Structure 1
Amino acid sequence: MALADVARRLEDSLNRRGTVKRVNRGWRPAIIGFTGYGSTSSLHVLGRAVMADPDSKPLFKPPRLPPATHTVLGQVKEAFEQAEKLSETAQRGWRQFFTTQVGFLPVTVHAGDKVISTRTDRSGYIDVLVQDHGLEPGWHEVRIEAAAAEPITAKVLVVKPTATYGMVSDIDDTVMVTWLPRAALAAWNSWVRHTNTRKAVPGMARFYRELLDDLPDAPVFYLSTGAWNTLPTLEVFLTLNGFPTGPLLLTDWGPTPTGIFRSGQEHKKTQLRNLIITFPEIKWFLVGDDGQHDPIIFDELAREHPRHVAGIAIRQLNPVEQVLSHGLTEAIDERRFDDDEARYGVPTISGQDGFELMAKIDELEKGCPGR
């Protein structure tokens, strides 16, 4: 039997025992709604079912929807309030990972004109594609119901059909300073540190605002190999530091049919292709760092789908950050050659922080004729 199979069986066994133990203590399933996304024709509704103590506070109450009248100042105020609540209760990120997921739980999703019945997957995740939902462009709430659980609402973003540009950004080492060995990064950022004490990469929020300044319809997605459990604190971090609002596309750390842990590279490649399929008319700015594999992932996408990539921006880690990221003082992936831009028509810029990238923004905007 493969090691991955052993890991999956062990995870399932531990989870079943945890579920029985918590049911006997009076716990019940609870749904956590993630931020979904889609077009006017199809919508991804995302969430997860976990066991929860009915007498405790909600696991995560997401910030309210950002309607047109909801100012940036209001969003920041709400984020501060949520961060203060986390601090008051001394909530540390490690608590987010001690959850018992509820696999194969019957779930019903109400999105616009549609009602979809399904089940969570073995890890408790919900990923429902709703066709012809009837929702107008903008932010909405969908209702998720599950057996023995309280109904919840989840945020979803319906992108305007007039959008022709968008942005996909990595998180760790791109917008968030980590300064830890990659092997310990997740444990420290998610298990030990208070959730409202993370540092932003200098100038990155300003770079994003400048890049999207005259693209009001452009959707923004945050694509990371981080676990879904960290979503609440990441949303607070992005809002507190002035980054554009947008769905987060995270992953699960559990075993798969081919390995003990999920492949971060495959997660990013899959999600990028899903965005191209969902939004065939949008050209994407791809923003990442050279500490792991973002340059080669973005380059492959530009080679395969040059019509869908407007430009690539790479944050260059310094030698110390490179060592902490993967053990070497230099980037592990080679940068694109100069002739790649001529062959694929996708401009690429790089810099050590958002300020250096902003100085080269005119080069990046070459991929946006007529913007």
Structure 2
Amino acid sequence: MARPHAASIVEDAWHRQVDSVLRSRGWQTRIVAHTGYGSEEFARVLGRVLLTRRADRSEGGERADAGASTAELRSAEDERRGWRAFITAPAMNVPVTITLGHKTVHTRTDRSGYIDTKVRGHGLTPGWHEATLTSVDAEETTAAVMVVGTDETFGLISDIDDTVISTSLPRPMIAAWNTFVKSENARHVVPGMATMYRELLAEHPNAPMFYVSTGAWNTAPTLTRFLRRHGYPPGPLLLTDWGPTNTGWFRSGQDHKRACLHRLANEFPHIRWVLVGDDGQHDPKIYGDFVEQRPDTVAAIAIRELTPSEQVLSHGIPVSLEEFTPARGRHEKEVPVCRAGDGYGLVRLLRVALGQTTAPDA
């Protein structure tokens, strides 16, 4: 096994020191539940264990998943400014017990306090269910888990930033302002995207909906509340951790998205996906590469076209980065690619591409 990167060694030492100091002052653990997913054979349960003061402990744990009530989401991050979500103390290597359906498994949190565990043999039918999570000194909590049937052949995977939420990432100063300072109420919704997802899923009511982003897991309560407030279908958030890894100082956002796409394709080989993103960053290239590697798993690609001003805020020039990338391979040409400035335009094109309606007369 390769030696861990110096950054991860330093971070782990810091976390151990913080853990020791906080526990000596009476801090205890609390579980933050995230939305999980799975099939009739397995389920992936997600969450995190953090250290908190006794006075801050919420009865019943903390929920940031699709099954949480509005009050629970507000309690998880009660209209805080974004930067507060990042001041956390992870509980490393803490034992966690997960019960889902007929199965109980025991696991431990990773070096950043995260829970990412597969539960096999749960015996659950397709639909929404709840897993129970318990840990030492922590209040028991539950996490919503979406179980997808083996007969489902349609699914949606959506980017978040500049696709469903206008954040003008990744220009550093604006990104920092949006993420760390401004209230989530100040974020802007992209017109028509929620309507598009609801209409597409109306044709496939049991189809899975995934939201994939390079954003940090700390923002899950804010994102979940935002998506619910604006009428987006519920679904797991597949986010990442901004901290050091065993190979470098920071995680690669592009690698995270690629890994999520391939993992979902492996876990649900019977599903053909509609991939939704924007042309402000790397979504067209990532999706194009994925189509080249696994053409049979993609039903269509939908790209939200940013305005020239949004392009400037995104990467400094008023045109899409696609203008400077090589032409894609033959498989991408066989997969429909729909482009429009908002969800209203995209859904009309997607309905035609997916055969849900006929093309309008010229």
TM-score by length of 1: 0.87
Offset, 1:169: 0.3
Cα deviation digits, residues 310-368 of structure 1 (max 9, x gap): 10000111222122212222222357959846x76310011111122133233431499
Change (3 A) 1:199 1:345: same
Distance 1:143-1:60 versus aligned 2 partners, 3 A rule = closer
Q: Which residue of 2 aligns with 1:33?
A: 33
Task: Give the distance between the partners of 1:31 and 1:46, measured in 2 at CA.
Answer: 11
Partner of 1:53: 53
For residue 70 of structure 1, what is the aligned residue in structure 2?
A: none
Q: Distance in 1 between matches of 2:238 and 2:100?
A: 20
- In the alignment, residue 108 of structure 2 is paired with which amino acid? R
Change (3 A) 1:344 1:247: same
- Whether 1:246 and 2:256 are equivalent positions in the alignment is no
CA distance in 2, matches of 1:315, 1:63: 26
Preserved contact between residue 107 and residue 119 of structure 1 (Cα < 8 Å)? yes
Deviation of 1:252 after TM superposition, in Å, equals 0.5
Give the CA deviation at 1:86: 8.1
Identify the residue that residue 287 of structure 1 maps to in structure 2.
276
Which segment is superposed worse, 356-365 or 230-239? 356-365
Q: Is the 8 A contact 2:161 2:169 kept in 1?
A: no
Identify the residue that residue 151 of structure 2 maps to in structure 1: 162
User: Is the 2:82–2:182 Cα contact (8 Å) retained in structure 1?
Assistant: yes
Q: Is the 8 A contact 1:311 1:367 kept in 2?
A: no
Task: Give the Cα separation in 1 of the matches to 2:145 and 2:169.
Answer: 33
Are the structure 2 counterparts of residues 332 and 338 from structure 1 closer, same or farther at C-alpha, using a change threshold of 3 Å?
Answer: closer
Letter aligned with residue 139 of structure 1 = W
- Look up the match of 1:118: 107
Distance apart, 1:64 and its partner CA: 7.1
Question: Would the aligned equivalents of 1:136 and 1:158 in 2 still touch at CA under 8 Å?
Answer: yes
Relative to 1, partners in 2 of residues 1:288 and 1:311: Cα closer, same or farther, differing over 3 Å?
same
SS at match of 1:32: strand
Residue type of the alignment partner of 1:5: H
Is the Cα contact below 8 Å between 1:303 and 1:344 reproduced in 2?
A: no
C-alpha deviation, 1:181, in angstroms? 4.8
Q: How many residues align?
A: 353
User: Aligned with 2:259: secondary structure?
Assistant: helix
**Offset from partner CA, 1:171-217 (integer Å, 9 cap, x none):** 00000011465324553233211123321001111122222221111
8 Å contact from structure 2 (residues 26, 53) kept in 1: yes
Q: 1:94 aligns with which of 65, 83, 97?
A: 83
1:130 aligns with 2:130: no
Alignment partners' CA distance in 1, 2:257 and 2:6: 26
Q: Please give the root-mean-square deviation of Cα atoms over the aligned residues, in Å.
A: 2.7
- SS of the equivalent of 2:191 reads coil
Query: 2:129 maps to which residue?
Result: 140
Q: Which residue of 1 aligns with 2:297?
A: 308
The answer for the alignment partner of 1:183 in structure 2 is: 172
5+ unaligned residues in a row in structure 2: which ranges?
Answer: none
Change beyond 3 A, Cα 1:366–1:28: same
CA displacement, residues 134-163 of structure 1 (integer Å, 9 cap, x when unaligned) = 112111111112223222211111112221
1:21 is aligned with what amino acid?
Answer: V
Give the counterpart of 1:65 among 64, 67, 83: 67
| Residues 194, 231 of structure 2: 8 Å contact kept | yes
3-state SS of 1:258 partner:
coil
Distance verdict in 2 for CA 1:290–1:116, change over 3 Å = same
Q: Any conservation in 1 of the 2:80–2:183 contact (CA below 8 Å)? A: yes
Q: Distance in 1 between matches of 2:346 and 2:249?
A: 37
Structure 1 portions without partners, runs of 5+: 67-77
Whether the aligned pair in 2 keeps the contact of 1:60 and 1:232 (CA below 8 Å) is no
Which one of 313, 317, 322 corresponds to residue 328 of structure 1? 317
* Cα distance between partner residues in 2 of 1:279 and 1:300: 19
1:299–1:336: 8 Å Cα contact kept in structure 2? no
Q: Determine helix, strand or coil for the equivalent of 1:196.
A: helix
Aligned match of 2:350? 361
CA distance in 2, matches of 1:280, 1:92: 40
Residue identity opposite 1:61 in structure 2: R
Structure-2 separation of matches of 1:40 and 1:86: 30
- Contact preservation (8 Å) 2:91, 2:112: yes
* AA matched with 2:41: S
Counterpart of 2:341?
352
* Partner residue in 2 for 1:20: 20
Q: Return the letter of the residue paired with 2:36.
A: G
Tell me the TM-score normalised to structure 2 length: 0.89
Separation of aligned partners in 2, 1:5 and 1:368: 53
Take 1:319 and 1:139, find their aligned partners in 2: how far apart are those partners?
Answer: 41
Tell me the distance in 2 between the aligned counterparts of 1:367 and 1:21. Answer: 59
